[in-house]
Structure 1
Amino acid sequence: MSQHREAIRTARSVVVKIGTTALTTPTGKFDPSRLQYLADSIEARMRAGSDVVIVSSGAIAAGIEPLGLSRRPVDLATKQAAASVGQVALVNSWSAAFGHYGRTVGQVLLSAHDFSMRVQHTNAQRTLDRLRSLHAVAIVNENDTVATNEIRFGDNDRLSALVAHLVGADALVLLSDVDGLYDGDPRKATPERPARFIPEVSGPEDLADVTAGQGSHLGTGGMVSKLSSALLAADAGVPVLLAPAAEAKTALTDASVGTVFAPRATRMSARRFWVRYAAEATGALTLDDGAVRAVVQQRRSLLPAGITAVSGRFLGGDVVELHAPDATVVGRGVVAYDAAELSTMLGRSTADLPAELRRPAVHADDLVAG
Structure 2
Amino acid sequence: MAQGSIRPGTNERRGTTVAAAPRQDVSDARRIVVKIGSSSLTTAAGGLDADRVDALVDVLVKQDGRQIVLVSSGAIAAGLAPLGLARRPSDLPRQQAAASVGQGLLLARYTASFARYGRRVGQVLLTSDDTSRRAHYRNAYRTLDQLFTLGVVPVVNENDTVATDEIRFGDNDRLAALVAHLVRADLLVLLSDVDGLYDGDPAKPGTSRIAEVTGPEDLAGVEIGRAGRAGVGTGGMVTKVEAAAIATGAGIPVVLASASRVADALSGAGVGTYFRPTGRRSAGRLLWLAHASTPRGSVTLDAGAVRAITERGSSLLPAGITGVSGEFTAGEPIELLDESGLPVARGLVNFDAREIPRLIGRSTHDLARELGPAYEREVVHRDDLVLLRA
User: Do Structure 1 and Structure 2 share a fold, with TM-score over 0.5?
Assistant: yes
What pairs up with 1:272-287 in 2 under 5 angstroms? Answer: 272-287=286-301
Change in Cα spacing, 1:347 to 1:5, as seen in structure 2 (3 Å) is farther
Q: Distance in 2 between matches of 1:337 and 1:234?
A: 34
Change in Cα spacing, 1:72 to 1:151, as seen in structure 2 (3 Å) is farther
Q: 2:98 aligns with which of 82, 104, 114?
A: 82
Please say if 1:50 is aligned against 2:49.
no
**Offset at residue 116 of structure 1 (A):** 4.0
Q: 1:40 aligns with which of 54, 58, 67?
A: 58
Match of 1:266 in 2: 280
Larger mean Cα displacement after TM superposition, 360-369 or 90-99: 360-369
Match of 2:227 in 1: 215
Please say if 1:180 is aligned against 2:225.
no
Q: Distance in 2 between matches of 1:84 and 1:362?
A: 36
Cα deviation per residue 1:253-302 (whole Å; 9 max; x = unaligned)? 22521222233432111142243234443431212344334433554444
What pairs up with 1:58-97 in 2 under 5 angstroms? Answer: 58-97=74-113
Could you say what secondary structure the match of 2:131 adopts?
helix
Could you say what secondary structure the match of 1:182 adopts?
coil
Q: Aligned AA for 2:289?
A: V
Change in Cα spacing, 1:362 to 1:111, as seen in structure 2 (3 Å) is closer
Match of 2:306 in 1: 292
When normalised by structure 1's length, the TM-score is 0.85
Please say if 1:167 is aligned against 2:186.
no
Match of 1:109 in 2: 125
Q: Distance in 2 between matches of 1:143 and 1:314?
A: 23
Match of 1:368 in 2: 386
Could you say what secondary structure the match of 1:94 adopts?
helix
Could you say what secondary structure the match of 2:23 adopts?
helix
Gaps of 5+ in 2: 1-6, 9-20
**Offset at residue 340 of structure 1 (A):** 5.2
Contact 1:182/1:195 (CA < 8 Å) preserved in 2?
yes
Q: Distance in 2 between matches of 1:71 and 1:121?
A: 34
Could you say what secondary structure the match of 2:105 adopts?
helix
Could you say what secondary structure the match of 2:255 adopts?
strand
Match of 2:335 in 1: 321
**Offset at residue 135 of structure 1 (A):** 0.5
Match of 2:148 in 1: 132
Q: Distance in 2 between matches of 1:261 and 1:126?
A: 28
**Offset at residue 177 of structure 1 (A):** 1.0
Q: 1:22 aligns with which of 40, 44, 52?
A: 40
**Offset at residue 335 of structure 1 (A):** 4.0
Contact 1:111/1:150 (CA < 8 Å) preserved in 2?
no
When normalised by structure 2's length, the TM-score is 0.81
Q: Aligned AA for 1:201?
A: V
**Offset at residue 76 of structure 1 (A):** 4.0
Larger mean Cα displacement after TM superposition, 203-212 or 34-43: 203-212
Q: Aligned AA for 1:202?
A: T
Q: Distance in 1 between matches of 2:112 and 2:190?
A: 23
Q: Distance in 2 between matches of 1:265 and 1:121?
A: 22
Q: Distance in 1 between matches of 2:257 and 2:131?
A: 26
Larger mean Cα displacement after TM superposition, 6-15 or 335-344: 335-344
Contact 1:7/1:239 (CA < 8 Å) preserved in 2?
yes
Could you say what secondary structure the match of 1:160 adopts?
helix
Q: Aligned AA for 2:182?
A: L
Q: Distance in 2 between matches of 1:328 and 1:9?
A: 42
**Offset at residue 209 of structure 1 (A):** 1.3
Identity of aligned residues (%): 53
Please say if 1:246 is aligned against 2:243.
no
Q: Distance in 2 between matches of 1:329 and 1:255?
A: 41
Could you say what secondary structure the match of 1:9 adopts?
helix
Q: Distance in 2 between matches of 1:180 and 1:248?
A: 12
Q: Distance in 2 between matches of 1:168 and 1:297?
A: 28
Q: Aligned AA for 1:272?
A: L
Contact 2:132/2:285 (CA < 8 Å) preserved in 1?
no
Q: Aligned AA for 2:118?
A: G
Change in Cα spacing, 1:303 to 1:111, as seen in structure 2 (3 Å) is closer
RMSD of aligned C-alpha atoms? 3.1
What pairs up with 1:291-310 in 2 under 5 angstroms? Answer: 291-297=305-311, 299-310=313-324
Cα deviation per residue 1:54-92 (whole Å; 9 max; x = unaligned)? 011112222333344444444444433332332222112
Change in Cα spacing, 1:71 to 1:333, as seen in structure 2 (3 Å) is closer
Change in Cα spacing, 1:351 to 1:214, as seen in structure 2 (3 Å) is same
Q: Aligned AA for 1:44?
A: K
**Offset at residue 360 of structure 1 (A):** 5.2
Change in Cα spacing, 1:150 to 1:60, as seen in structure 2 (3 Å) is farther
Match of 2:12 in 1: none
Q: 1:234 aligns with which of 206, 223, 248?
A: 248
Change in Cα spacing, 1:68 to 1:278, as seen in structure 2 (3 Å) is closer
Match of 1:149 in 2: 165
Larger mean Cα displacement after TM superposition, 215-224 or 66-75: 66-75
**Offset at residue 99 of structure 1 (A):** 1.2
**Offset at residue 133 of structure 1 (A):** 1.1
Larger mean Cα displacement after TM superposition, 255-264 or 174-183: 255-264
Please say if 1:312 is aligned against 2:326.
yes
